[in-house]
Amino acid sequence: MTGASLPRLALFDLDHTLLLGDSDVLWCDFLMDVGVLDRAVFAARSADIEARYKAGTVDAAEFAQFYLSTLKGRTPAQWEPLRQQFLREQVVPRIPPAARELVQEHQRRGDLVVLTTATNRFLTTLTAEHLGIADVIATEPELVDGVFSGGTTGVLNMRSGKVTRLHDWLAQRGRRLAQFDSTAYSDSINDLPLLEAANHAVVVHADARLAAIAAARGWRTMNLSGTTPGATGTP
């Protein structure tokens, strides 16, 4: 089949793409606000990890384990009231209408829509449900005897790991990436491997390094922070 006749696959990063903010950072700030985390101890470490993530220099395992450490020692059920409060107060207000419309546009076309994020699955599944996205690929938190250990399981869904996890996810469904006309959306240089793996790369609210690459390659750019999707660049 030609690209025009292949089924379509839309791959969405979450943080700073569909969400105007970073789920992990917002979660840490939220936990500090409600007194679960000690701001004097945690704030500087969180800011350092965030800065190195944006620069694309943080170690993936360090990144994942730092943020998953916030869940350590409690069960999913024990966290659930705070997770629901976090969604209502911190996540939903930061999802712009244009982001919802873009997701819905792909869904109306009959595309397979997947949310793929470095943030852990426990935090992101509620966001995906709110956006009406059924399929999520995320970093997997480890549970030991039903309690979050602060560790991860499997391949981290970050950088080249997003491509590995995508191939594995499709293989489990008897499909291959080459069988789709795929479009990937992201803001971050950390997602360059995913953007390069897709047939079409679209950068949304791009960081400086990714914006330069997008300009050089003629990739589409989008700003979803307004009320309607806007795009420039090569279709």
Tell me the per-residue pLDDT of 112-125, one tens digit each, with 9 for 90 and over.
999 999 999 999 99
Mean pLDDT, residues 97-122? 97
**What is the spatial distance between Cα 169 and Cα 155, in angstroms, rounded to a whole number?**
12
Does some domain include residue 2? no
State the residue range of the domain holding 17.
8-232
Does some domain include residue 220? yes
Residues in CB range of 61: below 8 A, 6 or more apart: 152, 156
Write down the pLDDT at residue 188: 95
Quick check: 229 pLDDT over 50? no
Burial 80-93 (b: 16+ CB within 10 A, else e): eeebeebeeebbee
**What is the spatial distance between Cα 49 and Cα 57, in angstroms, rounded to a whole number?**
9
User: Per the confidence metrics, is the pTM higher than 0.75?
Assistant: yes
| Mean pLDDT for all residues in the chain | 93
What's the structural domain count of the chain?
A: 1
Does some domain include residue 94? yes
Pick the more confident residue, 199 or 2.
199
Write down the pLDDT at residue 181: 98
Length of the chain: 235
Does some domain include residue 138? yes
Does some domain include residue 1? no
Write down the pLDDT at residue 4: 64
Does some domain include residue 215? yes
Please give the structure tokens belonging to residue 171.
């293989």
CATH of the domain at 131: 3.40.50.1000
Does some domain include residue 127? yes
**What is the spatial distance between Cα 121 and Cα 129, in angstroms, rounded to a whole number?**
12
- What are the catalytic residues? 13, 15
Q: pLDDT-derived band of residue 28, with 50, 70 and 90 as boundaries?
A: very high
Quick check: 2 pLDDT over 50? no
Q: pLDDT-derived band of residue 233, with 50, 70 and 90 as boundaries?
A: very low
Q: pLDDT-derived band of residue 50, with 50, 70 and 90 as boundaries?
A: confident
Does some domain include residue 157? yes
Please give the structure tokens belonging to residue 223.
């700003």
Quick check: 134 pLDDT over 80? yes
Q: pLDDT-derived band of residue 230, with 50, 70 and 90 as boundaries?
A: very low
